[in-house]
Amino acid sequence: MRDTPTPRRFYVHDDLTDDVRERHGAGSPADELAQTLMALVRRDAPRVTVLTLREQIEALVARGQHAPFALAVGIGPAGERVARQLHARAGWFPTIARVDLTREEDGRGGYAVVSPTGVPLAHQLAGVGVEHATSLAVVDDTIFSGITLRQVIEGLSPMLRARTHAFCLRGVEESLAPLRALCPVAAGFAAPGHILDEISFINASGLVRRGSIRRSGLAPLAFFERPEWMHAWFPGHGDDVIALCRRLNGLLEPTGVPSLPAVV
């Protein structure tokens, strides 16, 4: 992998603050650490922008109304969670299924899109009955490189693709554009610019919870366990962010076992 650049605009989706407060209680040590961490993340504004779930959902809904889809497929736990959150707000997805697909470091400096369950994507799609859906939504949380969503869309038959619409909370415009050649794609927030050097996205939970960095044949990592990334994202105070993340991780994952946000 090439050296990690410091992005000109860095977007952090705050999926951490409310989740920690709900699990550990308002005013708990974990809650206070999470708030301190997010304040430190915001220090480098306006280069760093913290995005909230509500503003992204409201922006996505404002882009256009949709009749309820016959089936919505969430990509992984995050995509399923977003589908449920969007349905609670807009009523678009009365029937939600999930396919498990994720990006994984291949150990050779690149990435592969794999099924963490070992079940091939084609079998997963057949298992949730996509071919019988009169209308299909495919839902993800973030479209950064776009390789995961592309694999799902290209796994659909041309006839089904013609009645498919994809949704995400946030994405990079240069990655969204080629996907729109396959099917309509709606994003709550779309950032202009090139990925990595100009634009980067992360979930705040990934800073402290293991699972955002997946590695072939190795245990998953949290972002704070990649110091070179942290110093690139938070130049000048990377060590402070890492120290806070390590303390919060000790409260959220005291056994070292990954603890991802629950699907609600």
Q: What is the pLDDT of residues 47-104, one digit of tens each?
A: 999 999 999 999 999 999 999 999 999 999 999 999 999 999 999 999 999 999 999 9
Which tokens sit at 138?
Answer: 């495919």
Among the CATH numbers 3.30.750.200, 1.10.3660.10, 3.40.50.2020, 3.30.1310.10, which is that of 54-191?
Answer: 3.40.50.2020
Does the structure show a pLDDT above 50 at 264? no
CB distance 17 to 34 below 8 Å: yes
> Span 236-251, mean pLDDT?
98
> Span 177-195, mean pLDDT?
96
Does the structure show a pLDDT above 50 at 1? no
Note the pLDDT tens digit of each residue in 3-42: 889 999 999 999 999 999 999 999 999 999 999 999 999 9
- Place 106 in a pLDDT band, splitting at 50, 70 and 90: confident
With 0-12 CB in 10 A as exposed, 13-18 as middle and 19+ as buried, what is 121? middle
Which tokens sit at 94?
Answer: 């009365």
Beta partners for 112? Answer: 104
What gap in Å lies between CA 221 and CA 233, rounded to an integer?
17
The predicted structure's pLDDT at residue 109: 80
Which tokens sit at 146?
Answer: 């776009």
Residue type (1 letter), 7 = P
The predicted structure's pLDDT at residue 260: 59
Maximum separation of any 2 CA atoms in the chain, in Å: 54
Determine if the pTM surpasses 0.85: yes
The predicted structure's pLDDT at residue 90: 98
Report the share of the chain in percent with pLDDT over 70.
97
Enumerate the domain spans of the chain: 9-52+194-252, 54-191
The predicted structure's pLDDT at residue 2: 52
DSSP 72: E
Report the share of the chain in percent with pLDDT over 90.
91
With 0-12 CB in 10 A as exposed, 13-18 as middle and 19+ as buried, what is 6? middle
**Average model confidence (pLDDT) across the chain:** 94
The predicted structure's pLDDT at residue 110: 85
The predicted structure's pLDDT at residue 192: 95
Smallest Cα–Cα separation from 15: which of 63, 57, 64? 57
> Span 251-255, mean pLDDT?
94
